[in-house]
Every structure is written in structure tokens, then in C-alpha cells.
Chains A and B, each alone.
Chain A
Amino acid sequence: MSERVAVRKTYKLFIGGKFPRSESGRSYLVQSSNVSLASRKDARDAVVAARAAVKGWAGATAYNRGQILYRAAEMLEGRREQFVALGIPGDEVDAAVDRWVWYAGWADKLAQVYGGANPVAGPYFNISAPEPTGVVAVVAPERPALLGLVSVIAPAIVSGNTVVVAASPSEPLAAVTLAEVLATSDLPGGVVNILTGAITETAPTLAAHMDVNAIDLTGVTDAALATDLEVKAAENLKRVLRPAPADHDWTGDPGLAPMTALLETKTVWHPKGV
């Protein structure tokens, strides 16, 4: 009896809830697989998908967003062995699941913790509440490939932002597999879009894109590239999260900053009277 021939997986991009190949028809060999090499056009397509998803996702109730993030944690837990098979340590998968759960709980608490009533000196009702900034471009950290990725996606989307993520170029399989998790988590298409390939090809397009509201440079390790991306981002005054320090502790308490850096505070005034 001959052994069963395995069915291999084609690793593709994740744009608008679908799994297309790169429009450029290119791939690169990494982690023993051919992975899509995203082009500048793919990056622009991903921004279009992310923008289209903003209205529905930002307009969803916080409770609903929390439920969907929690669902992603459930799906991730169920695929634990699949990530381990990709070489992700088991405790990193566990930490990634726990991080999804942690962020899921923030969805309907952020506005209370980060917003509030303002006691102005006059007969006015005055309240400040956070809102998502819109479309966020993210350069994911090179590693840890899964926990790092989850740690940049979850804080962006929990408040209603949508993201275009440039995945770790050297370990992209975890990102594509996470896309499969998200695709089965009731997350609307376009809320998370994942590009694999070269950061130097996709990130400058995202940083210069006039329909992107913020850019998270967490995973950029080349200082000159980080500066170039920040300069490009200034054109439409994107909110910029600078690269994480090399010794960043991914297992520690993330705090509020990864979420609040991608929020806008809106303050509403109304007179009181009869």
C-alpha cells in the first residue's frame, strides 16, 4: 500500500473577506511554501476593501463587535494544532487566544473608560466619547508571528477600525492561517485584510495612501524605512504609531495605548433649558 498523498494548501492574500492571489501573479518561497508576493495594486485594493467595511463595522454595536472578537478566539482555540504544526510554540498560541479574549471584552468598555461627561462651567450637557479613526495600515512584527500579529490587529479593530496588515515577510504562514480563522468568525469581509510579501513594497503605498487614516509601524525594524514611512504618512496627517522597541515584551499587559492611539475623541455640546 502506498502512503496517502497529502493535499497541500495554497497560501493566498486575504482581501475583502476573499482569498485572492496577488494580482501580480507573483509568489515567493518561504517556510517551504509559495506565498503570494503582494503588489502595490494589492495594497490599494485592500484599502478599498477596508474603507468599504468601515461603515458597517464602526456602526455595529460594541456588544456585537465584542461577540465577534470572542468568536475569533474560539476559532483560534480550535485550530491550535494547526498553528503548532506551522512551528508556532503552543504557549504562544495560547497567549494569542487569551489576547483575543482580553480585547474582545474591551469593545463595550472603552467608551466608558476613555470617554466621559465633562463638567463645563455653564448650562450645557457635554460628553466626550471615542470613535474609530477609520482605516488603519499595520506593519505586523516579524515575530512572534502569531502573538505579535494578534497584538496589532485586535486593538485596532475592537473599536471599529478596519485594517490592512502587512504580515511578517519571513513567517507569513501564521498570518494566512489567522485569516482563515477570521473568515470563519462572523467578521465582516474587509475589516481585516492581510498582505503577504515584502514590507518595502506594500508599506510605502499604504503610508502614502490618502484614504488611510493611521499607520502602525510596530513591525518596522529598519530605522530609515520607518522614517520614510512616517514622512509619507504626514501628507494627510495619518496618526502614526512608531516602531516597537527591539526588546518589547509581547506577553506583557498591553495597556490601553494600542487601542487609544487609533481613536478619535468626539465631544458633543448641547444647552440645557426648558
Chain B
Amino acid sequence: MFEYAPAPESRSVVDLKPSYGLFIDGKFVDPADGGSFKSINPASEEVLAEIAEAGSEDVERAVRAARKAYDKVWGPMSGRDRAKYLYRIARLIQERSRELAVLESLDNGKPIRESRDVDLPLVAAHFFYYAGWADKLEHAGFGPRPQPIGVAAQVIPWNFPLLMLAWKIAPALAAGNTVVLKPAETTPLTALLFAEICQQAELPAGVVNILTGAGDTGRALVEHAGVDKVAFTGSTDVGRAIARSVAGTRKKLTLELGGKAANIVFDDAPIDQAVEGIVNGIFFNQGHVCCAGSRLLVQENVADRVLESLKRRMAQLRVGDPLDKNTDVGAINSAAQLERIRELSDAGSAEGAERWSPPCDLPDRGFWFAPTIFTGVTQAHRIAREEIFGPVLSVLTFRTPAEAVEKANNTPYGLSAGIWTDKGSRILWMADRLRAGVVWANTFNKFDPTSPFGGFKESGYGREGGRHGLEGYLNV
């Protein structure tokens, strides 16, 4: 392998402030109790900015602002005019896409190639897509006069900060709701820049409110009695707690939770393409993907060939500076997440699976984990059952399609699955039997605003994207 010269993206496009307030009722304000925390660059551990931490009084203010905006402005507004605000936002995101992409990579640790070429185009596309629905809701298949729900409390994770914001805010606003959104505590910056974009779009005050903070802020928000709708993306454990907390209320709930997807490779699959799919499935975004293909199920008679090819390919992955345009795998998002990945990987070794990583120089500062595979994994191993949410692949084998289905479905999760085979009838047979909300056949980790996404079983309920994505934000 020959060396690449570094090709760093410039940071100068981003104008970071030393500190950020909460975005409530159209203005940046100080938190009522004065709390704050720091957001750091996980690739260098450098402090990026001081972030306000919203307390219960701030939640109260934000929900009240959202309610007022719902009653007075956004609710009564015609769908046609709501659409125009959403189109404005979509355009502003495109115009400022490089700034947002660099900021996302700084705050999250993901490679700039990904934030620039995947996250940002999808963010803009989501706003465009749902903008068009705002004045067509009566044609969406939910009855002749679909009504918004009211004030939506939205809590999003750190793996795709701005994209998850778009998945939440675009359909909510298109359907006529107002929102209070809490970004993850390790990745608040692009949400705060989005708040500036809302100002630039002259979106009416209170329609979008952004509260930064950690778990306590999120809990206060979803449990607030003035909230009509709760949407959460994150871990299954927190999702369970939220499902309990809305019990006995009339709050409508949608949850997009964890996964442990099987990526199934049959012996007739084009091996090179399948290997690309395996790599994309588990190492894309450092494996911080709820639908990551974290369990490779490979047909026994081609397992050696696939693994040899996979290892050769993994040795080509460039791990390092997220702002380097050559980088394939960036930084792990936080020290806490790195610890979890290490703990589960150590459990994999301790339980008897065989661990392999390519030779890989990791930077001295920041949070890093080399792309790793485990072979000889059984279904009982923790690394085959628990979501690692990192660049760690567990490899299992199978002999028959029926066995592949059995193993793929042997998990409480059901978010996604992959199938690699040249045989069309087998793809459809498998797709029918896999208990997963998204099935990628001869591809993996593809997303589109028109395409519904969401899980079966303990991966949550409700769908985001497409016409189905409106349902969670309408009284149907």
C-alpha cells in the first residue's frame, strides 16, 4: 500500500463561538440555572465550546414557547406557507453545507468525506422532501383532514447529529407541529447552527426550540405534561424507560432504538462486492450506526475466501484525522463510548472468540479504536447479542438459508438486515422471513428521505422517512 499525503479540509469555514446558549422562542438565551458543559473534539480532546445545560425551568420555557407558536402561528398557518419555510431551510442547509459538514466532523469525529457526501446531502433532501408534504397532507393516506398533534419533544443521538435532527424536525413541522429538540450532549453544535439557520429563514419564533443538555434534560423534556408527542432515537434501554414514562398519558410515542443486524453472505454472492458491503455495513461512521451490519453470517463453504478478502480490504482502511479527506474511519465519539467498545471486545476475547485487527497506527490524542473482527463467534457470545456501536464485527457461519434466517432472527432487535446473493428468488424468500424493518439486498446502509426506516421488536416502533414518517406526527 502506498502512502497518501494528508488532504485536510479547512476549519476556517466554521466560526465557533466560545459559548452557546439555549434556543428558545427564536432567541439564544442563558439557562435559568446557569449550568453548562463542554463539547470536545473527539479526535483531539480539544474543547470546542461551552454549552448551556437546560434545567427544568428552561424546559418549561421552551415547551411554553412551542405551545404558543403552535396555537398562534404554526397551527393556523396554511400548509402552503409552512412548506415555503421548510424549502427555505432546505436551501439554507445546502448553501451552508460545507460549514455544517466541517462542524459535524469536528464535534462528532466522523470523516469529512462522510459528513460532506452522506450526512449533509441527506439532511437537505429530508427538508426538501417533507416541505412538499406540508400542503398535501390530505393526500397522504391518513384520512381527509389529518390534524397535527401539537408540541413534539424530540431527543436525538450523537451518531448522526444533524441528520437525526432533520429526520425529527422536517416531518414534525411539515405536519404542523412545533418542536422542542434536545441534541446529544456530546454533539450539540450542528443543532445550534441549525437554530441560526431557523433565524436566517425567519421561521416564526417558538416553532423550533433547541435545548442542550444530557439525560436529565431529556427526561424533563419527555416527561413534561405540556408535550403531546415524544420521538426518541437512541438506546433500547432509554427507549424502554421513555415507554414507561409515557404510560397513562395521551402522548404519542415513536422510538428508533438499537440493532444487531445480520449481514448474510451466500456462496453465490459476488465476493468483492459483498466485502465492500460488509466493510460499509460495519465500519461506516465508525460503526456508530444503529442499523450497522454487526453480525456477519457467511455461508460455510465460502467463509475462508470471504474472510481473506475482508482482511485484505480492512488493511486498506485509513483510520485517523476526521478532517482529512482520505480518512475512512474517524474518531470514536466519546471516552465513554470507547470504554464500552473496549469492554465488549474484551468480553469477546474472554469468551473464546478470535480477535483480529489490521496493523493500524492510531493517533496519540483523542478516542480511537482500530477496525476489528471476531471469528469463531457463537450465538451465545455477548459480542453476537449486544449492540457494540463501534467498528467491531462478529463473524458466524451457516450452511442453509433456513439456518441463516434462524440465526439472523435470533435477537431481540429487528432494525435491519443484509442479503448478498446472485439469486433473485432467494433474496425475496429471505426478505420475507427476516424480522427487520429495512432489508438491504446486495447493498447496505443506504438511506433516502422517501424510504421508511424503523424497527421490528425491541428496535422500536414507528417509521421515519417517506409517507409513513408523517404518521407519527399526525392524529390518525
Given known contacts A113-B141, A231-B244, A124 and B443 CB-to-CB distance under 8 angstroms: yes
Contacts of A267 in B (CB 8 A): 437-439, 451-453
Give residues of chain B (413-455) contacting chain A, Cβ–Cβ below 8 Å.
427, 431, 436-443, 446, 448, 450-454
- Distance to closest chain A CB from B195 (angstroms): 27
User: Is A269 a contact partner of B248 (Cβ separation < 8 A)?
Assistant: no
User: Is B442 a contact partner of A237 (Cβ separation < 8 A)?
Assistant: no
User: Is B247 a contact partner of A269 (Cβ separation < 8 A)?
Assistant: no
Contacts of B141 in A (CB 8 A): 113-114, 256
- Distance to closest chain A CB from B462 (angstroms): 9
The verdict on B393 contacting chain A, using a C-beta distance below 8 Å, is no
Which of A73-81, A183-191, A222-230 interfaces with chain B?
A222-230
Which of A6-14, A97-105, A115-123, A164-172 interfaces with chain B?
A115-123
User: Is B439 a contact partner of A268 (Cβ separation < 8 A)?
Assistant: yes
Q: Considering the chains assembled together, what is the distance between the CA atoms of A181 and B448 in angstroms?
A: 47
The verdict on B463 contacting chain A, using a C-beta distance below 8 Å, is yes
Given known contacts A118-B448, A270-B443, A271-B442, A264 and B437 CB-to-CB distance under 8 angstroms: yes
- The residue of chain B having its C-beta at the shortest distance from the C-beta of A264 within the complex is B456
- Bin chain B's interface residue count: 35 or more
Give residues of chain B (136-170) contacting chain A, Cβ–Cβ below 8 Å.
141-143
Give residues of chain A (239-259) contacting chain B, Cβ–Cβ below 8 Å.
239-240, 242, 255-257
The verdict on A236 contacting chain B, using a C-beta distance below 8 Å, is yes
Contacts of A231 in B (CB 8 A): 244, 247
Contacts of B142 in A (CB 8 A): 256
Contact of B257 among A124, A230, A237 (CB under 8 A): A237
The verdict on A213 contacting chain B, using a C-beta distance below 8 Å, is yes
Q: Considering the chains assembled together, what is the distance between the CA atoms of A273 and B453 in angstroms?
A: 24
Contacts of A242 in B (CB 8 A): 250
Task: Give per-residue flags for B444-476: 1 if the beta carbon is below 8 A from chain A beta carbons, else 0.
Answer: 001010111110111011010011100100001
Contacts of B466 in A (CB 8 A): 118, 128
Contacts of A256 in B (CB 8 A): 141-142, 476
- The residue of chain B having its C-beta at the shortest distance from the C-beta of A223 within the complex is B248
User: Is A118 a contact partner of B458 (Cβ separation < 8 A)?
Assistant: no
User: Is A227 a contact partner of B248 (Cβ separation < 8 A)?
Assistant: yes
Q: Considering the chains assembled together, what is the distance between the CA atoms of A231 and B244 in angstroms?
A: 5
Contact of B440 among A213, A226, A236, A269 (CB under 8 A): A269
Given known contacts A242-B250, A264-B437, A267-B437, A237 and B243 CB-to-CB distance under 8 angstroms: yes
Given known contacts A234-B243, A234-B247, A266-B437, A239 and B442 CB-to-CB distance under 8 angstroms: no
Contact of B448 among A120, A213, A230, A237 (CB under 8 A): A120
Q: Considering the chains assembled together, what is the distance between the CA atoms of A218 and B313 in angstroms?
A: 54
Q: Considering the chains assembled together, what is the distance between the CA atoms of A60 and B291 in angstroms?
A: 29
The verdict on B125 contacting chain A, using a C-beta distance below 8 Å, is yes
The verdict on B239 contacting chain A, using a C-beta distance below 8 Å, is yes
- The residue of chain A having its C-beta at the shortest distance from the C-beta of B446 within the complex is A269
The verdict on B120 contacting chain A, using a C-beta distance below 8 Å, is no
User: Is B450 a contact partner of A270 (Cβ separation < 8 A)?
Assistant: no
The verdict on B56 contacting chain A, using a C-beta distance below 8 Å, is no
The verdict on A177 contacting chain B, using a C-beta distance below 8 Å, is no
User: Is B427 a contact partner of A270 (Cβ separation < 8 A)?
Assistant: yes
Q: Considering the chains assembled together, what is the distance between the CA atoms of A227 and B125 in angstroms?
A: 39
User: Is B437 a contact partner of A234 (Cβ separation < 8 A)?
Assistant: no
User: Is B458 a contact partner of A269 (Cβ separation < 8 A)?
Assistant: no
- Distance to closest chain B CB from A241 (angstroms): 12
Contacts of B460 in A (CB 8 A): 237
Contacts of A67 in B (CB 8 A): none
User: Is B441 a contact partner of A230 (Cβ separation < 8 A)?
Assistant: no
Contacts of A223 in B (CB 8 A): 248
The verdict on A94 contacting chain B, using a C-beta distance below 8 Å, is no
User: Is A128 a contact partner of B248 (Cβ separation < 8 A)?
Assistant: no
User: Is A269 a contact partner of B239 (Cβ separation < 8 A)?
Assistant: no
Q: Considering the chains assembled together, what is the distance between the CA atoms of A53 and B35 in angstroms?
A: 55
Contact of B458 among A230, A236, A270 (CB under 8 A): A236
Q: Considering the chains assembled together, what is the distance between the CA atoms of A49 and B403 in angstroms?
A: 24
The verdict on A235 contacting chain B, using a C-beta distance below 8 Å, is yes
The verdict on B8 contacting chain A, using a C-beta distance below 8 Å, is no
Contact of A269 among B125, B257, B439 (CB under 8 A): B439
User: Is B443 a contact partner of A118 (Cβ separation < 8 A)?
Assistant: no
Contacts of A128 in B (CB 8 A): 451-452, 466, 468
The verdict on A27 contacting chain B, using a C-beta distance below 8 Å, is no
User: Is B437 a contact partner of A213 (Cβ separation < 8 A)?
Assistant: no
Contacts of A227 in B (CB 8 A): 247-248
Contact of B451 among A228, A230, A264, A269 (CB under 8 A): A269
User: Is A237 a contact partner of B255 (Cβ separation < 8 A)?
Assistant: yes
User: Is A230 a contact partner of B247 (Cβ separation < 8 A)?
Assistant: yes
- Distance to closest chain A CB from B211 (angstroms): 24
User: Is A270 a contact partner of B441 (Cβ separation < 8 A)?
Assistant: yes
- Distance to closest chain A CB from B2 (angstroms): 30
Given known contacts A118-B466, A237-B240, A237-B457, A271 and B247 CB-to-CB distance under 8 angstroms: no
- Distance to closest chain A CB from B119 (angstroms): 15
Given known contacts A226-B248, A264-B437, A268-B431, A239 and B143 CB-to-CB distance under 8 angstroms: no
Contacts of A118 in B (CB 8 A): 448, 450-452, 466
- The residue of chain A having its C-beta at the shortest distance from the C-beta of B122 within the complex is A121
- Distance to closest chain A CB from B148 (angstroms): 16
Contact of B443 among A228, A257, A271 (CB under 8 A): A271
Q: Considering the chains assembled together, what is the distance between the CA atoms of A239 and B456 in angstroms?
A: 10
Given known contacts A119-B450, A270-B443, A234 and B244 CB-to-CB distance under 8 angstroms: yes
The verdict on B412 contacting chain A, using a C-beta distance below 8 Å, is yes
Given known contacts A264-B456, A269-B446, A235 and B240 CB-to-CB distance under 8 angstroms: yes
Given known contacts A116-B467, A122-B448, A255 and B247 CB-to-CB distance under 8 angstroms: no
The verdict on B236 contacting chain A, using a C-beta distance below 8 Å, is yes
- Distance to closest chain B CB from A183 (angstroms): 29
Given known contacts A223-B248, A270-B443, A265 and B450 CB-to-CB distance under 8 angstroms: no
Q: Considering the chains assembled together, what is the distance between the CA atoms of A233 and B246 in angstroms?
A: 12
Contacts of B246 in A (CB 8 A): 230
- Can you identify 19 A-B contacts, CB atoms within 8 angstroms? A120-B446, A120-B450, A126-B450, A128-B466, A128-B468, A227-B248, A230-B246, A236-B457, A236-B458, A237-B257, A239-B461, A256-B476, A260-B476, A265-B463, A267-B439, A269-B439, A269-B443, A270-B443, A271-B442
User: Would you list the 5 A-B pairs with minimal beta carbon distance, nearest first?
Assistant: A227-B248, A230-B247, A234-B243, A120-B448, A118-B450
**Seed contacts A133-B456, A265-B454; 8 additional CB < 8 Å A-B pairs:** A121-B448, A240-B243, A255-B476, A264-B456, A265-B468, A268-B431, A268-B441, A271-B443
Residues of A in contact with B (beta carbons under 8 Å apart): 113-114, 116, 118-122, 124, 126, 128, 133, 213, 223, 226-228, 230-231, 233-237, 239-240, 242, 255-257, 260, 264-271
